[in-house]
Structure 1
Amino acid sequence: MSFWEYVRNRQELLWFETYQHASMVLQCLLLATAIGLIIAIVTYRSKTASAMATGIASVLFTIPSFALFGLLIPVFGLGVTPSVIALVLYSLLPIVRNAVVGMSNVDPSLVDAARGMGMSRLRVLFKVEMPLAWPVILTGIRVSAQLVMGVAAIAAYVSGPGLGDQIFSGLARLGGANAVNSALAGTVGIIILALIFDGFFVLIGRFTTSRGIRG
């Protein structure tokens, strides 16, 4: 059976697994973005605190994915929960690092001017610092999306949802019928999703970044 015949015969399953994969990545990315921005907001004014936050995220990022999933199994079992926890942890580093860098590099004179106009620290954060840092923050989210898209495939190791099941199933049956087609279908699907997500974030950047900053 050719690859295209394999895809056509299993298109319903492949569409479902593609939806699962995209949904898991998007939800984990949103959760990691919320957590990462909170960490950055709390720590970016202090070099020591921001260095500690970035360092912890870096340590988590260096843990091999199979090892992390393996460590999560005894505590959370198999399925969605360990998959989500692992993906969120892997997403944090680019988001935290870029958010800290972006906000800490905002021109202090602009912050002083905003404070001089009577703005509170909270208003300065959300009206001045975060909008100016947004392109850098978005780049971190975009990098995380690409990283997590691939790591999400390994979630099949803990019975997580998504296209990783196609890859693991194919690799487990190498030499058997449609083994290569299965692994290839999962891989191609993830590549396509990664391109779609990247294009989506490019559009977000165009619509949410002011022309002055883009210029």
Structure 2
Amino acid sequence: MEFLEFLVDRADDMLELGLEHAAVVGAAVLISTVIGVALGIATYRSERARETVLAITGSFLTIPSFALFILLLGPLGLGWRPVLLALVMYGLMPVVRNTITGLREVDPAVIESAKGMGLNRRQQLLRIELPLAWPVIITGVRVTTLVLLGIAAIGAIVNGPGYGELIFTGLARVGTPVAVNLVLAGAVGVMVLAVLFDLVFYAVQRITTPRGIR
């Protein structure tokens, strides 16, 4: 009951921080999706190229988030900029990997049929390969979103936006009665956003995936 009262009292803050958190994650997902799909399309036919891209984007995930935020603090300063760049870096790998996987899983017989119909390379990609690969690609985007929602909270270490502010404020007040409520409120906020984002992506997937390949 005490926690619920705390949420009611801080409802305005929860809403404001939630919008900030959603905005920075949404922007990062959009940018990483555009870059990731483009990299996947550019490299999926070449083994060396795709292995190089996967290795580079995968290496970003090995960098501890605390360390990356601090490293970006120098050139980008405090605020949302280092958080956005870090999230884009962390978000590339799942999108690139799923784009490559989805495109490579398209049945070669389907591609040959498209060629027989007179479709050029660009038309094959846009009309046949990408629509067939889309369910796999959107799954990668959903995974990226869920991962970034959690990492974004750590961005509060560089005064980034979102629920991390509550979490870090609570950690700084460990031992006080309000500390647990602050940390729990931040964690619950991130979880609620994760559910909402996942529902949005589920709806987008249903709407944008051709009925014949759902």
Partner in structure 2 of residue 102 of structure 1 = 102
Q: Structure 2: 5+ residue runs without aligned partners?
A: none
Please give the alpha-carbon distance, in whole angstroms, between the structure 1 residues aligned to 2:104 and 2:191.
34
Moved over 4 A (4+): none
Q: Structure 1: 5+ residue runs without aligned partners?
A: none
Partner in structure 2 of residue 12 of structure 1 = 12
TM-score, normalising length: structure 1:
0.97
Query: 1:172-183 counterparts in 2 under 5 A?
Result: 172-183=172-183
Partner in structure 2 of residue 208 of structure 1 = 208
Larger mean Cα displacement after TM superposition, 113-122 or 190-199: 113-122
Partner in structure 2 of residue 158 of structure 1 = 158
Percent sequence identity over aligned pairs: 47
Partner in structure 1 of residue 40 of structure 2 = 40
Partner in structure 1 of residue 83 of structure 2 = 83
Residue 132 of structure 2 aligns to a residue whose secondary structure is: helix
Please give the alpha-carbon distance, in whole angstroms, between the structure 2 residues aligned to 1:8 and 1:175.
22
Residue 33 of structure 1 aligns with an amino acid whose one-letter code is: T
Residue 176 of structure 2 aligns with an amino acid whose one-letter code is: G
TM-score, normalising length: structure 2:
0.97
Please give the alpha-carbon distance, in whole angstroms, between the structure 2 residues aligned to 1:28 and 1:156.
16
Partner in structure 2 of residue 53 of structure 1 = 53
Q: CA deviation at 1:177?
A: 3.5
Q: CA deviation at 1:213?
A: 1.1
Partner in structure 2 of residue 189 of structure 1 = 189
Residue 204 of structure 2 aligns with an amino acid whose one-letter code is: I
Q: Give the CA RMSD over aligned residues.
A: 1.1
Please give the alpha-carbon distance, in whole angstroms, between the structure 2 residues aligned to 1:8 and 1:60.
39
Residue 78 of structure 1 aligns to a residue whose secondary structure is: coil
Please give the alpha-carbon distance, in whole angstroms, between the structure 2 residues aligned to 1:126 and 1:172.
51
Partner in structure 2 of residue 126 of structure 1 = 126
| Deviation digits for residues 15-67 of structure 1 (CA, Å, limit 9, x no counterpart) | 00001101111111001000001111110110110111111111011111001
Residue 3 of structure 2 aligns with an amino acid whose one-letter code is: F
Residue 100 of structure 2 aligns with an amino acid whose one-letter code is: V
